[in-house]
Amino acid sequence: MCFGCCKGRAWLVQIDYHMNAQGSAITVEPPTALPVAQRCTAAKLFAPLPVEAIKGISVTWAKRLAAVGVTTIGQLSDMSDEVLQELQHRNRSPMPLELRTKARLLGSGLPGSLLAHQDTRAENLSLFTLAGYTSTALQKALGAPFSALVSRSLNAYLGLLVTVLDNTVLRKLTLGDLRAAIDVESIT
């Protein structure tokens, strides 16, 4: 979920709080209409990468995955439950579930308002470098048009990438690569 900040999208839920005259009670007024939900991801940036780009995939596990036709992160993310269970059973390990989960995490939502601004001072910085920034430092690196919410959301997403992807991969990918790969999909 991208926290309602996708280009052209209002907040998913708008809540207005009104204090009564005594200042003790809070009433919540529901919104009159909810916009169509959208999801912002950069999954297409990671899908063609080899499975070895994920932390925890050794040469042995890469060979085991290749034996069932899984060589890219996209294929690992799309791996069926049947293939997953067969790999777990054959290898007597929960590792295939962990690896598929990591691949699917790369499709997690990210701040869609990264699309709204076409240039940022941090465009050519590596994702590895940006992941080392605090959200405040990240907001300064991105520049004035980016809100604190966007920088905190991006900071959390970068933390997820550091957890899932090998650091050498993160050093090669830039914020510009990430922004270019953002897809906005309607959730039905």
Distance CA 156, CA 110 (A): 9
Task: Please give the pLDDT value at position 55.
Answer: 93
| Domain extents in the chain | 1-6+39-188
Task: Please give the pLDDT value at position 8.
Answer: 38
List the pLDDT tens digit at each of the 188 positions of the chain.
344 444 333 333 333 333 444 454 444 444 444 444 456 778 888 999 999 999 989 999 999 999 999 999 999 999 999 999 999 999 999 999 999 999 999 888 776 666 555 566 788 899 999 999 998 898 888 876 677 887 888 889 899 999 999 999 999 999 888 888 886 654 44
Burial class of residue 166, CB neighbours in 10 A (0-12, 13-18, 19+): middle
Whether the predicted model's global pTM rises above the 0.75 cut: no
User: Is 131:151 a contact under the CB 8 Å cutoff?
Assistant: no
User: What are the angstrom distances between the C-alpha of 104 and each of 48, 147, 152, 155, 157?
Assistant: 13, 27, 21, 19, 13
Task: Please give the pLDDT value at position 102.
Answer: 94
- The CA radius of gyration of the chain, in Å to the nearest whole number, is 20
Give the three-state DSSP class for 157. Answer: helix
SS (H, E, C) 105-146: HCCCCCCHHHCCCCCCCCCCCEHHHHHCCCHHHHHHHHCCCC
Task: Please give the pLDDT value at position 41.
Answer: 78
Q: How many helices (H) and strands (E) does the chain have?
A: 10, 4
